[in-house]
Chain A
Amino acid sequence: MLAYKKTDVEALANWQLAKTLKKDGMLVDGADLSELEAASTLYHPGYFMRILLFVVGLIGVSGGIGMFFFMFQDALAEAWQVLFLISGAGLLVGLEAVFIKNLKHFKTGLTEVFLFGGLLMLGFGINGDNDNHLSRTFFVMAVLCALAAIRYTNNVLVAASLMFVVAGLMAIAERSGPMVTNLLPYMVMLIFSGGYAISKRLENNAALRIWENQINTLQAVCLALVYAGGNYFVVRELGQSLRGIYLEPDENIPFAWLFYTFTAIIPLIYLYQGVKTRSRIFIWMGLAAAGFSVFTFKYYFSLGHPEITITIAGVFLLAVAIYFLHSLKTLKKGITRERVSAANLDFLTAEALLISQTVGSTSQPHQKDLLGGGGFGGGGASGNF
């Protein structure tokens, strides 16, 4: 499934992690990373280079596609669909043959240009000029994006795939009338709750650790979509545009109370879950959802003073932040307000050891493995070959 050798991706991940930890001062003094660097053969530059290559690559690829269409302009009238399919496939083949197999590019910005460009062209080609089977196009694209997301370990395509599923459902609802449109929010919530449950199982699978980030993205987007499916603003406004109707301010959507409840409760559930299970994804999604819920309620029940809301929201956020910064001055149940870096390492290390002795029976087995295992001494070689 993977376009790269699994060992190559692992070697890159090891080197990247070591670099980050070294920057934070977590590695031993004078740690020598040259061995890890040498083992990592994929080319994966920093953000600036990726932005540059993406911009330049986009200009070049646009020129290339333009040239291709220009050369076959006679065929454009009858067979433009074929031209789109050929150019899309061409970009993907170029990605594989030139950038991955030959130049060993791994997420360099150029790979994204070819990948996204190729999928986009394929999408237009698949759809053709008949918008009657838009939903079919969307579902095919969802599958293609999902496959590509796995093959190239790409986060954007995970999100794109899920958005195509939503778009496909919406296209069906738009054609099938009010009955299906009214059911759409429940379907979205149900489907992506399922998606979240699946992602949760994938997360614990050690064989899939190369896709750690993609699984996290899957979780985050699923949570966002479950919330969006229950959010009153989204359901009301999207429902209107799907059905092509206009609701007067005093008219309401069916089961409005239910969606008001979802809007109010889901952020709280996310935040509670995030704090309880120490899940960053739940915390961030909960915060974002809470912000959007405030917006939703203000949008329909506004007293006409947004500046007061903004001021109060600011005071509230400051109060919450100061409260937690104050109460987490010392480590509470392992939660700290400090950044995990060398600067406050002593504090954290002492606390962590304390925790591992008091709470942590789970960390004991690994310790035993390492101390007792024979692979420890020759570990340097066994890791990578």
Chain B
Amino acid sequence: MTKQHIENLFEKGLLTEDRYHLLLEIQSKKVFSVYYELRTLLYLGVLLFSTGVGILIYNNIGQVGHYIALLLLLALTVGCMVFVLKRQDPFTKSHWESPSPYFDYALLMACLLFVIDLGYIEFLFGWFTGHLSIISLVTSLFFFYLAYRYDHQGVLSLAITALASFWGLAITPQRWYDFDFFEEPSLQWVAVAFGAGLFAGALILKRRGIKPHFATTYLNFGVIIAFFGSSSLMFNGHEGNYGIAVGQIVAAAALAFFSIRQKTVLYIIYAYIFGFLALTYLLAVNLDTFDIFFWLFYLIAVSTGFIVVILKLRKRFKHDS
């Protein structure tokens, strides 16, 4: 943003005089916003602190002062929650601006500490042994409530992750690279169903107008989990792989159409990657050819064809710009 740009907009009558002057003040740094800087510090602070405390307690487990540590931790969690609860605005279905700059971070801290609390209590008293999946479910429901009540997408992600672990799905980046994040094969179908469920749930909630801006988070989780599940089935399974590969191609095509209807390119990225993967798998298994010329031609043809089509459609993606 340079002075000339602002002057140009003002000359075109797009800026009122007040705002024109304000923008000039911002451009010349007479008005200087440290909004993002301070928020980054808060966010890093919350992450570092909760991680540090988590490791601290884990490393010192079995030493004196357990109960004091637990009490301190609980007090901190409750403190954060009280801070959040003190600012009660009525629930709204649409987007809600948080009332104070600390609000979102206090809530996030409370949630991260809550998980550590549970782990610590489990270690000390063993109350939850044998019921760990129930604890995941309860945590998840609690986080879902908080996410909707206080409009927090970060807590929503935590809730979805907890819900996934209730179903036995571990969503950790380390296990993704080799399609091996399922402890047993049956979980792959669970992943597909869970992902599809998230997808459907997001669409229903969006249609009902309940926090429609949450939909993107749900859809991202849903699409990625479902496609990783089906890709894992495709590569690791024994029978019926063709069906799964064809199914993945059909799902990818459907997702691409959905993306076009939503006027965004985002889901086409997933659709292309996983559709391309399934198509390549199908060809590789069926054609059984090692002709380099064929495969190079295949790469060029598919990419070029796709680019030509997507550029033809480019006017439709209004939401991205």
Interface residues of A (CB under 8 A from B): 13-14, 17-19, 21, 26-28, 31, 33, 35-36, 43, 45-49, 51-53, 55-57, 59-64, 66-67, 70, 103, 110, 206, 209, 212, 278, 280, 283-284, 287, 306-322, 324-325, 328, 331, 334-340, 343, 345, 348-349, 351-353, 355-356, 359-360, 362-363, 366-367, 370, 375-376, 379-380, 383
Q: Scoring B residues 33 to 62 as 1 if CB is less than 8 Å from chain A, else 0, what string do you get? A: 111111111101111111111011001000
Find B320's partner among A49, A320, A334 (CB 8 Å cutoff).
A49
A99 to B16, CA, bound (A): 39
Q: Is the CB of B9 within 8 A of A352?
A: no
Name the B residues within 8 Å of A322 (CB-CB). 42, 102
A contact patch SS: helix
4 smallest CB-CB distances across A and B, nearest first, come from A60-B303, A314-B49, A63-B299, A379-B11
Q: Scoring B residues 159 to 182 as 1 if CB is less than 8 Å from chain A, else 0, what string do you get? A: 000000000000000000000000
Name the A residues within 8 Å of B269 (CB-CB). 48, 51-52, 55
Candidate in A13, A310, A328 with the most chain B CB atoms within 10 angstroms = A310
Find A55's partner among B24, B25, B272, B296 (CB 8 Å cutoff).
B272
Name the A residues within 8 Å of B183 (CB-CB). none
Name the B residues within 8 Å of A45 (CB-CB). 265, 314, 317, 320-321
B236 within 8 A of partner (CB): no
B128 within 8 A of partner (CB): no
| A363 touching B28 in the complex, CB below 8 Å, given contacts A26-B19, A48-B320, A311-B53 | yes
A240 to B243, CA, bound (A): 56
The stretch that binds A, out of B129-137, B282-290, B304-312, is: B304-312
B13 within 8 A of partner (CB): yes
Find A307's partner among B24, B56, B293 (CB 8 Å cutoff).
B56
B239 within 8 A of partner (CB): no
Name the B residues within 8 Å of A309 (CB-CB). 52
Find B24's partner among A17, A21, A366 (CB 8 Å cutoff).
A366
| A317 touching B31 in the complex, CB below 8 Å, given contacts A18-B9, A56-B303, A62-B299 | no
B205 within 8 A of partner (CB): no
| A324 touching B38 in the complex, CB below 8 Å, given contacts A46-B321, A52-B310 | yes
In the complex, what's the smallest C-beta–C-beta distance from A356 to chain B, in angstroms?
6
Find B9's partner among A21, A343, A349 (CB 8 Å cutoff).
A21
Q: Is the CB of A370 within 8 A of B7?
A: yes
Name the A residues within 8 Å of B311 (CB-CB). 103
Name the B residues within 8 Å of A337 (CB-CB). 33-35, 38, 101
| A334 touching B32 in the complex, CB below 8 Å, given contacts A45-B317, A70-B293, A322-B102 | yes
Considering only CB atoms, which chain A residue lies closest to B16 in the complex? A28
Q: Is the CB of A360 within 8 A of B25?
A: yes
A66 to B295, CA, bound (A): 10
Considering only CB atoms, which chain A residue lies closest to B273 in the complex? A55
Q: Is the CB of A317 within 8 A of B12?
A: no
Name the B residues within 8 Å of A331 (CB-CB). 31
Name the B residues within 8 Å of A356 (CB-CB). 21, 25, 30
A209 to B272, CA, bound (A): 38
| A70 touching B265 in the complex, CB below 8 Å, given contacts A56-B303, A338-B33, A349-B19 | no
In the complex, what's the smallest C-beta–C-beta distance from B76 to chain A, in angstroms?
11
Q: List 5 A-B contacts (CB under 8 A).
A: A14-B8, A46-B265, A314-B46, A352-B21, A355-B31
